[in-house]
Structure 1
Amino acid sequence: MLWRKRLFAHLYPGLSARHEALVAERKRALFREALRRARPERVLEIGPGPGTNLAHLPEGVAYLALEPNPFFHPRLREEARKRGLALTLLPGRAEAIPLPGGSVDLVVATLVLCSVADPEKAIEEVHRVLRPGGAYLFLEHVAAPKGAPLRLLQEAATPFFVFFGDGCHPNRKTLAQIQARFPRVEAEAFSLPLPVVAPHVAGLAFKE
């Protein structure tokens, strides 16, 4: 429903501020490594929201953004303008990226696979649009180990998160899904002092 998307876009910057502070240094290091190794000229970001990650991109790259929530678009355009990035907004969803195969050097998706309808299909699309040698930068909250008290809480909280969090699922085993499609994955698991969504993974996956 549009009212939920509007509400989520309004609340998200405030809700995400603590998370961004907690992952700031890790995210900076991850982007530095991705830029060094992929040397991108064309960057696709899936689910950029208000454009938080644009601060990590150098001027001059062609920045393509697939953001299905239209209420983020005004802030995303303004952030791109301030950063000196030429923004191209793409229609569609992560499961059907409207780009040719092998057409981008770097795909960025942070806190995205929790909320897509079909994460395996989204990962397949990321792989398809990357050029050989290109990189996929990810940072996601993930499911706690099966049987752990936190996992039970995640399962119970999932319907609430889906309804109010624009489709967010706190109980997804995201790293295994990425590794199933990308044989070469460099990832780190870590935990943040957050309720329900404490377990995280971050890293780079490379297309051979």
Structure 2
Amino acid sequence: MNNDFKNNAIRGPINAFMFKVLSGYMDRLFGKSKRQLFRNHPETVVEIGSGTGANMRYLKPGTTLIAIEPNIHMHANLKKSADKYGINLEIKAIKGELIDLADNSCDFVVSTLVLCTVKSPEQCVKQIKRILKPSGTFIFIEHVKAQKNSILRWIQNIMHKPWHWFFEGCHTNRDTKQVLELAGFSSLKLVSYNLYSPFIPIVSQIRGRAIK
């Protein structure tokens, strides 16, 4: 992730506050899908871009979460969420492109609405693949570039610059679906859909599960 955005003295705290406030609403939007994707997760989970810990509600109490979160302004709320949900938390304030975990060491990696913000999604996914054990699982929910010539694509393009500046380097029109399709996973189950909400630039989304 881009630390220039993540540790900005103004945007960093504002986004940390917003993500915490919106946690309940985001659960209403994404909760059903996340509960299905997180089902039967192992004792240790690696999450890319843990934010303020919104996904901890889908983890079993006692789970160890290795949180890759470069925005230091998120860390206080991450710790509070871990206490609330009974999660054993290890925070790594590093970029998703530079994960310092060993090759073939992780069973389960999570990314939700994060690959839009990393500087190089290809490198981040490469790192996820590297740390996964053979047959390890990567689950994801991401917003993506809308269909060509659609109103959604037009809105994404118009909104990209201000959205990118305010929301921690988020790209409204990134083709994350193609990044995952070209990553070389042995299995990729991916669903494309529109999730309508007031956040129009992120209506076009994908979710799914990849196996190394």
Corresponding residue number in structure 2 for 1:23: 30
Aligned ranges 1:54-133 → 2 under 5 Å = 54-133=56-135
Q: In the alignment, which residue of structure 2 is the partner of 1:139? A: 141
Residue identity (%): 35
TM normalised by structure 2 equals 0.90
Contact 1:91 1:98 in 2 (8 A): no
Amino acid at match of 1:8: N
Displacement of 1:192: 1.4
Aligned partner (choices 196, 208, 211) of residue 206 of structure 1: 211
The change in CA–CA distance for 1:152 and 1:159 in structure 2 (over 3 A counts) is: same
* Secondary structure of the structure 2 residue equivalent to 1:95: helix
Partner of 1:165: 167
1:16 Cα deviation (Å)?
Answer: 5.4
Q: What runs of 5+ residues in structure 1 fail to find an aligned partner? A: none
Give the Å deviation of 1:2: 2.0
- Once the two structures are superposed, what CA deviation does each residue of 1:128-171 show, in whole Å capped at 9, x if it has no partner? 11111110010011110122221122112111111000111110
SS in structure 2 at match of 1:11: helix
Alignment match, 2:190 = 187
**Alignment-derived partner of residue 14 in structure 1:** 21
Q: Are positions 1:3 and 2:16 aligned together?
A: no
Q: Gaps (5+ residues) in structure 2? A: 1-7
Partner SS for 1:196: helix
Distance 2:88 2:21 in 1: 26
C-alpha separation between the residues in 1 aligned to 2:178 and 2:130?
18
Q: How far apart are 1:17 and its partner, in Å?
A: 4.3
Greater mean alpha carbon deviation, residues 55-64 or residues 91-100: 55-64
Name the CA distance, whole Å, in 2 between partners of 1:91 and 1:16: 21
TM-score by length of 1: 0.92
What is the letter of the counterpart of residue 57 of structure 2?
A
Task: Choose which of 195, 201, 204 in structure 2 pairs with 1:196.
Answer: 201
Is residue 45–residue 65 contact of structure 1 (8 Å, CA) maintained in 2?
yes
Could you tell me whether the CA contact under 8 Å between 1:94 and 1:125 is conserved in 2? yes
State the superposition RMSD in angstroms: 1.4
Partners of 1:200 and 1:19 lie apart in 2 by: 14
Q: 1:75 to 1:16 in 2, by over 3 A?
A: closer
TM-superposed CA distance for 1:104, in Å, is 1.1
Q: Is the 8 A contact 1:41 1:105 kept in 2?
A: no
**Separation in structure 2 between the aligned mates of residue 158 and residue 83 of structure 1, nearest angstrom:** 35
